[in-house]
Amino acid sequence: MPDPSHRISIVDDLREMLGESAVLTGSDVSGRQASWLSNDPMQALAIVRPESTAEVSAVLSACHATGQTVVPLGGNTNLVHGTETRPNDIMLSLERMNAIEETDADGATMIVQAGVPLQRAQDEAERQGMQFALDFGARGSATIGGAISTNAGGNAVIRYGMMREQVLGLEVVTADGTVLSSMNRMLKNNAGYDLKQLFVGTEGTLGIVTRAVLRLRAAMPSQNTALLAVDGYDNVIRILRHLDASLGGTLSAFEVLWKDFYDLVVAEREVHAAPLSAGHEFYILVEARGGDQSADAARFEAVLEDLFTNGWVGDATFAQSGAQRNALWAIRDDIDGLVDALKPAMAFDVSLPIPAADDYQRAVHTGLRAEFGDAYRGSTFGHLGDSNIHFMLTIGSTEHDAQHRAMEIVYEALKPHRGSVSAEHGIGLEKRDYLDVSRHPEEIALMRTLKTALDPRGILNPGKVFE
């Protein structure tokens, strides 16, 4: 914790360093929302908004000298309290570092500042005849820096990988203000340690990402999307394997909605037109993207026919237009609707071997129902093609002990499967006490060694990931 005598002076120093408009205090802080899942006011000594890597370096150098704690902020869409601040923390917002500096279609790269929203990067890539492959529902708010700090996943991981695979180079400022500029543009670079990986997925605890070289991919002009209604989890796995083998590498999404999700979002909310009748155990949103719409569509339809012939699918609808595709994805992406329907909502993001996923989710729902009775209600969905499922649920209470018990039920059930308590959202504060479910003591000890080496005064995002 910083020395109280420094609290006012550090804010004054930062104002003098960056200018009045770059340092917000008082109601300009409390007028902001603490997080996406909470309407509570933000707490912080100040929100500091640098405009360049040099300014980030100056801020961290000053804070390091006084022991002032600093919490980095991107688009504030974090789901695990990874950007939560205390009243005496400095919030370092990258919101003014939002420039797309360069797009090189020939080199398949884009250079961006960390505060660029994901959707802006996607749109710019599309204007250049390319694509930035990372995609998830919060694309309009989430930033590139935040996606890097959590190693975000999303809807296309099965084909393109996590955020880690989309990053070629980084510029990072470490706790003492040192600038590490490794803005590599090459896909292959084995010259020593790949230092950027120290900062991907480490939630701003080892350094602050300020700029990035992103990897672009060729735009895929063909897009074929279908929603399948399926009964029996064995059929879900059969369908995944058959699509992967039969679509020639074009499968880009395999999103599974369990019955409880489909019933809540489609049948009960009456916001979305029902594309398929309710009552099936699973609904699978499948998408393939390729280079020849006519040939790809013919192959896609032929593969879907195989699924019916094999008796694996009970019903299906094929998107005949962009509007129909968007309507199908709107069902999958209606997280706001889930949060509204399941207030007070709890969100979980886990990963485990695909064959075990349905038995695991049944165990979790059985345990929660036994513990909380009719107060419990939940839904299961996610990127099953890459072993990631989500729970959105309510136990009817925000009381700490009750929520802690719910977390224990969800995470203890992972142990027999050696699953991960975080597939793509990070650890933050929320999952810190359960890190040992997924990591051995020796791994956690090495993480602490890295933290001590790069942030010896413990000023960066204190308390996140581990104490």
pLDDT tens figures, 177-219: 999 999 999 999 999 999 999 999 999 999 999 999 999 999 9
Question: What pLDDT, on a 0 to 100 scale, did the predictor assign at position 303?
Answer: 97
For the stretch 315-319, contacts whose Cβ atoms lie closer than 8 Å and that sit 24 or more positions apart, written own/partner, are: 315/228, 315/229, 315/276, 315/277, 315/280, 316/226, 316/227, 316/228, 316/229, 316/276, 317/226, 317/227, 317/275, 317/276, 318/224, 318/225, 318/226, 319/224, 319/225, 319/226
Phi, psi of 386 (to 5 degrees): -115, 25
Kindly state the tokens that stand for 242: 């058959």
- Tell me, what DSSP letter sits at residue 13? H
For the chain, what percent of residues have pLDDT higher than 70?
98
Strand partners, 282: 230, 258
Residue 253 tokens, joined: 């999404």
Nearest to 73 by CA among 98, 103, 94: 94
Report CA torsion sign: 420, 422, 427, 430: negative
Q: Which helix (H) or strand (E) holds 91?
A: strand 90-93
What is the chain's alpha carbon radius of gyration, rounded to the nearest angstrom?
23
Taking Cα atoms as reference points, which of 80, 90, 84 lies closest to residue 6?
A: 90
The structure tokens listed for 182 are 């490794």
Whole-angstrom Cα distance, residue 467 to residue 448? 9
Could you give the C-alpha distances from 152 to 55, 73, 130, 342, 374, in angstroms and in order?
Answer: 26, 15, 20, 24, 34
Phi, psi of 80 (to 5 degrees): -125, 25
Q: What H or E segment, with its residue span, contains residue 290?
A: strand 282-290
Q: How confident is the model at residue 393 (pLDDT cuts 50, 70, 90)?
A: very high
Q: Where are the alpha helices (DSSP H) in 45-95?
A: 53-66
Q: Which of 59, 67, 65, 28 is nearest to 46 (CA)?
A: 28
Instruction: Say which amino acid occupies 292.
Output: D
DSSP structural state of residue 191: S
At 226, the pLDDT band (50, 70, 90 cuts) reads very high
Q: In 10 A of CB 343, how many CB atoms?
A: 10
DSSP 8-state secondary structure symbol assigned to residue 445: H
Q: Given CA atoms 154, 149, 335, 119 in this order, what sign does their dihedral have?
A: negative
Residue 7 is predicted with a pLDDT of 61
Q: Is the pLDDT of residue 1 over 90?
A: no
Alpha carbon distance 148, 368 (integer Å): 33
The token pair at 5 is: 């005598």
| Res. 36 pLDDT band, cuts 50 70 90 | confident
Q: What pLDDT is attached to residue 35?
A: 80
Residue 37 has pLDDT above 70, yes or no: no
Task: Give the per-residue pLDDT at 78.
Answer: 84
Across the range 334-356, mean pLDDT stands at 93
Q: Which 3 state secondary structure label does DSSP give 291?
A: coil
3-state secondary structure of 424: coil
User: In 291-386, which ranges are E strands?
Assistant: 315-318, 346-351, 377-382
Residue whose pair of structure tokens reads 């008082």 in the numeric block: 26
Q: 287 pLDDT exceeds 60? A: yes
Query: What are residue 143's phi and psi, to 5 degrees?
Result: -105, 160
pLDDT the model gives residue 79: 82
Encoded tokens for 64: 């390091």
Mean pLDDT, residues 409-418 taken together: 95
Q: What pLDDT sits at residue 82?
A: 87
The sheet carrying 23-24 orders its strands as 23-24, 46-48, 90-93, 70-73
Q: Which residue has the higher pLDDT, 361 or 34?
A: 361
Distance CA 466, CA 232 (A): 39
The mean predicted confidence, pLDDT, of the chain is: 94
218, 122 contact by CB (below 8 A): no
Residue 46: φ, ψ to 5°: -165, 155
For the entire predicted model, the pTM comes to 0.91
